[in-house]
């Protein structure tokens, strides 16, 4: 196992969309491992490392709120944008008034989590890439609040606040401390980028507010 970290993240709203819901957005009960990985990568990521989420602490009571939002039914094609950037004639436009549609969103509110994770070196690491180097870079950036992009809680309009939990520092108490197991059913683990972007799922069980996350990249189920 590589160097481990603990990151406290929180926000007013979050939506970790269930992929089986096609017409409307419905959030999972808690943050998914893929969303947690995305937050960590917003602070520090290089091809030389791979973030692995080990454990998720659910700090606040799980509460839902439903709203209706204006969305567009499509988005600009990356191929069209690249074509225009290369000087070719392309229709790089989108009429929001024509493509606007209202969708219901069942989202979470007042969320708080602790992400326990570690990183592992990949085959793309070079001679200058050492675990100590990347670990210290992450610690420095997390302490200073530095990011490559604004971390978010499922949707970009729901920004995530974060704070590093240092070794020896007391962790916030979870709302579910002292409770028993709670089956959260099947949850998206992540996309397997080495297997044609295959979506992998795991059975999420929360015990006293803590979810142990398997590493399915190593063939686990």
- Rounded to an integer, what distance in angstroms lies between the CA atom of residue 56 and that of residue 44? 19
Instruction: Report, at the CATH architecture level, how domain 4-70+105-218 is classified.
Output: 2-Layer Sandwich (3.30)
Q: pLDDT per residue over 68-116, tens digit each?
A: 877 776 676 777 777 778 877 777 776 666 666 778 899 999 999 999 9
User: Quick check: helix, strand or coil at residue 98?
Assistant: helix
pTM value is: 0.84
Cβ-count burial of 213 within 10 angstroms (0-12 exposed, 13-18 middle, 19+ buried)?
buried
| Mean pLDDT score, 42-59 | 95
- Domain positions in the chain are 4-70+105-218
């Amino acid at each position: 196992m590589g160097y481990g970290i603990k990151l406290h993240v929180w926000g007013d709203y979050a939506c970790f969309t269930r992929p089986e819901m096609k017409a409307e957005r419905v959030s999972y009960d808690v943050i998914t491992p893929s969303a947690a990985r995305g937050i960590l990568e917003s602070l520090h990521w290089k091809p030389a490392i791979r973030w692995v989420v080990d454990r998720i602490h659910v700090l606040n009571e799980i509460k839902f709120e439903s709203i209706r939002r204006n969305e567009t039914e499509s988005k600009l094609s990356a191929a069209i944008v690249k074509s225009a950037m290369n000087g070719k004639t392309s229709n790089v436009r989108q009429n929001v008034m024509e493509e606007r549609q209202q969708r219901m969103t069942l989202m979470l509110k007042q969320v708080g989590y602790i992400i326990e994770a570690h990183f592992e070196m990949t085959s793309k690491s070079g001679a200058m890439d050492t675990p100590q180097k990347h670990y210290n870079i992450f610690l420095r950036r997390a302490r200073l609040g530095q990011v490559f992009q604004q971390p978010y809680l499922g949707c970009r309009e729901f920004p995530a606040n974060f704070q590093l939990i240092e070794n020896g520092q007391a962790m916030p108490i979870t709302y579910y401390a002292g409770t028993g197991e709670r089956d959260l059913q099947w949850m998206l683990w992540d996309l397997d980028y080495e297997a044609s972007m295959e979506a992998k799922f795991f059975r999420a069980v929360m015990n006293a507010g803590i979810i142990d996350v398997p590493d399915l990249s190593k063939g686990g189920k």
